[in-house]
RNA sequence: GGCCCCAUCGUCUAGCCUGGUCUAGGACACCUCCCUUUCACGGAGGUAACAGGGGUUCAAAUCCCCUUGGGGUCACCA
């Protein structure tokens, strides 16, 4: 067991007694939590909690250019929404805290510097004064020569101490590099097995940047040790980094955690999932439609032009969303929050995410986090990358929604509406909403769907317009007796209704259909649906009429008759 | 390109470690039929995979080798 090595000989912050298992999720707050990160967090959480261990969260904000406070708060909220609670880390509600902080790397500079000094002192790391331009040139040359670039330490590693001190004193920019020992390095991984990198593959990598911040590699190794992390579960893109981390652990005399590298989650076309995907969709739409100006009320003309002119310019999330609304296109969900907005259930997202890269076997597919916690193990993690299948996710979501009690759906849909469709909620009474949600329950694949497909409910009666689609024309203006005639005939029937409930309306309409439409309810229902909704799709017609209210329904029917040539 | 890893239906995967029970199982998607006042749901069927080639063995999806294909990585980003 690699972890059985003696504890750190470097007595820095006092350690708590080690729990059996400590995992960590360590995102860099350079955006929003995306599904890949969420899956990693979920597995880390399940692994630790399943073993009675500790799951900790650490924010890797050592890149000053890319970090922001709001981004890290977003991460925390996303995690909490998914039901992935952390025992140690930044505090949010009941989550976080702990004795091994601070959990923001930007607040741990002193700690890193002490270890850095120790390595330099011991001759295991050295200052290097190469400029970025010099290094770039060498890399370029290596590329042209057709071989991989490796840092050549001969110059900087052998600088006399006096020179180094003098250069530092005069303020020359310098990084610190780790003096990587020669020889092959064997990575032991619980998912992938063993892999040996030949000698020379790992060069003298930078461990402290010129701005004084440690690099990712250094901070990770120090923090994992001090936070007594036992198991590192992370995405496979980090696999090769492991060698660097091992070099550092050896140099510092640290324990070695157990590693498990998780397969990547990609787009269906195997490309990396990234926020750029949103940009791509928008760009394609704009180009396909040959637009030269943004839709009104989205982004400014100047911003639009700058964005279109340069493929490397990316819209901010808010800009992209606004433009998507204006263009009436749907952006692909990438971040956890996107899925929340789209009306996915957190428990379903977790379930589905867990299925990308892991499975409990025995043909079990549907499970909750509790099950995952009990059953998750590294042995069943697959090695191959998974293509993220939104269609299957949607199917799972649909199953979960239609499978929940009606009251639960109504309640969750209400919360969703209050957050994302405030305009809709304002224009509808509580009772109406309850009825509408109840009627939408069994046909909803997401919490969001009913708000998008039922907008006709909140349109003013006199502003309702009708589709002129083939189906509408057919239903209304077909051979006699056509829909329009039925509408005219059924109008007085509805006017005569004294009670206006779904059941009462049905009782009034059914006899009519029996008499005048050969019992074919559809012949009457569909024209009514079109009349009151403007289109061919709505909740069941009697519910729809009842929710709308008698006055609205009658106004709409009369207007429809007039519009289609009564 | 160097290095590392991987390879089962269109997709997510079970099976592989400990060869025979695999005429390869499940799920999503797709197709057909049924149900149906729209949409959706639901029900019953169906199509569909061991990348290719060599070994080893009485026997290979399972073990070995090669080829091909895919992914990752080669930053003062994480």
Among protein residues, the one whose C-alpha sits closest to the C1' atom of B6 is A384
* Run of H or E including A51: none
How far in angstroms lies nucleotide B66's C1' from the CA of residue A460?
72
pLDDT value of position A65 = 73
pLDDT value of position A13 = 36
Query: A21 near A48, Cβ under 8 Å?
Result: yes
Among protein residues, the one whose C-alpha sits closest to the C1' atom of B74 is A148
For residue A382, give the nucleotide whose C1' atom is nearest its CA: B13
In this structure, the number of other CB atoms found within 10 A of the CB of residue A561 comes to 18
d(CA A517, CA A287): 50
d(CA A255, CA A224): 9
For residue A58, give the nucleotide whose C1' atom is nearest its CA: B78
How far in angstroms lies nucleotide B3's C1' from the CA of residue A185?
12
pLDDT value of position A3 = 29
Which residues in chain A come in under a pLDDT of 50?
Answer: 1-17
pLDDT value of position A566 = 58
DSSP bridge pairs for A272: A266
pLDDT value of position A519 = 80
Could you say which nucleotides of strand B lie within 7 A of any protein CB atom? 1-8, 10-15, 25-29, 37-42, 70-78
How far in angstroms lies nucleotide B51's C1' from the CA of residue A446?
38
Among protein residues, the one whose C-alpha sits closest to the C1' atom of B76 is A209
Helices (H), A367-501: 369-375, 390-403, 406-420, 422-426, 430-440, 449-453, 470-477, 483-495
Q: In angstroms, how far is the first alpha carbon of chain A from the final one?
A: 84
How far in angstroms lies nucleotide B34's C1' from the CA of residue A390?
28
How far in angstroms lies nucleotide B52's C1' from the CA of residue A377?
34
pLDDT value of position A19 = 64
How far in angstroms lies nucleotide B45's C1' from the CA of residue A299?
52
How far in angstroms lies nucleotide B27's C1' from the CA of residue A393?
11
Token duo for residue A173: 């920019």
């Amino acid at each position: 067991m690699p972890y059985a090595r003696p504890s750190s000989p470097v007595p820095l912050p006092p350690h708590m007694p080690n729990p059996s298992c400590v995992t960590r999720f360590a995102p860099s707050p350079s955006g929003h939590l995306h599904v890949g990160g969420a899956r990693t967090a979920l597995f880390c959480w399940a692994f630790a909690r399943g073993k009675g261990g500790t799951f900790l969260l650490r924010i890797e904000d050592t890149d000053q250019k890319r970090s922001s406070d709001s981004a890290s708060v977003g991460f925390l909220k996303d995690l909490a929404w998914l039901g992935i609670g952390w025992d140690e880390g930044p505090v949010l509600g009941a989550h976080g805290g702990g004795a091994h902080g601070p959990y923001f790397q930007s607040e741990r500079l002193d700690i890193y510097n002490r270890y850095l000094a120790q390595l330099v002192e011991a001759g295991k790391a050295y200052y290097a004064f190469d400029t970025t331009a010099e290094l770039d040139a060498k890399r370029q040359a290596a590329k042209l020569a057709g071989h991989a670039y490796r840092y050549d330490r001969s110059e900087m590693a052998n600088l006399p101490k006096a020179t180094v001190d003098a250069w530092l004193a005069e303020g020359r920019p310098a990084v610190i590099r780790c003096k990587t020992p020669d020889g092959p390095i064997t990575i032991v991984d619980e998912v992938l097995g063993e892999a040996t990198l030949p000698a020379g593959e790992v060069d003298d990598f930078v461990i402290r940047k010129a701005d004084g911040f440690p690099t990712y590699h250094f901070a990770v190794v120090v923090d994992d040790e001090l936070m007594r992390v036992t198991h590192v579960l992370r995405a496979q893109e980090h696999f090769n980094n492991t060698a660097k981390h091992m070099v550092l652990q050896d140099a510092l005399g640290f324990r070695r955690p157990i590693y498990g590298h998780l397969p990547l989650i990609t787009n269906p076309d195997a490309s990396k999932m990234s926020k750029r995907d949103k940009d791509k969709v928008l760009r394609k739409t704009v180009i396909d439609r040959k637009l030269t100006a943004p839709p009104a009320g989205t982004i400014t003309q100047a911003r639009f032009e700058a964005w279109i002119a340069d493929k490397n310019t990316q819209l901010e999330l808010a800009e992209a969303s606004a433009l998507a609304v204006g263009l009436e296109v749907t952006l692909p969900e990438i971040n956890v929050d996107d899925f929340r907005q789209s009306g996915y259930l957190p428990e379903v997202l977790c379930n589905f995410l867990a299925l990308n890269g892991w499975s409990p076997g025995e043909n079990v597919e549907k499970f909750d986090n509790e099950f995952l916690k009990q059953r998750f193990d590294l042995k069943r993690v697959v090695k191959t990358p998974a293509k993220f299948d939104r269609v299957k996710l949607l199917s799972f979501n649909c199953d979960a929604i239609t499978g929940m009690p009606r009251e639960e759906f109504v309640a969750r849909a209400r919360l969703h509406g209050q957050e994302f469709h405030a305009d809709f909620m304002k224009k509808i009474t509580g009772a109406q909403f309850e009825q509408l949600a109840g009627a939408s329950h069994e046909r909803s694949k997401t919490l969001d769907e009913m708000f998008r497909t039922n907008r006709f409910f909140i349109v003013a009666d006199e502003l309702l317009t009708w589709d002129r689609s083939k189906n509408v024309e057919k239903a209304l203006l077909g051979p006699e007796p056509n829909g329009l005639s039925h509408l005219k005939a059924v109008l007085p029937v509805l006017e005569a209704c004294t009670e206006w409930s779904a059941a009462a309306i049905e009782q009034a309409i059914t006899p009519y259909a029996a008499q005048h439409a050969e019992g074919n309810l559809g012949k009457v229902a569909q024209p009514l649906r079109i009349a009151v909704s403007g289109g061919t799709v709505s909740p069941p017609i009697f519910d729809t009429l009842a929710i709308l209210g008698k006055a609205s329904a009658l106004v709409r029917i009369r207007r429809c008759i007039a519009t289609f040539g009564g």
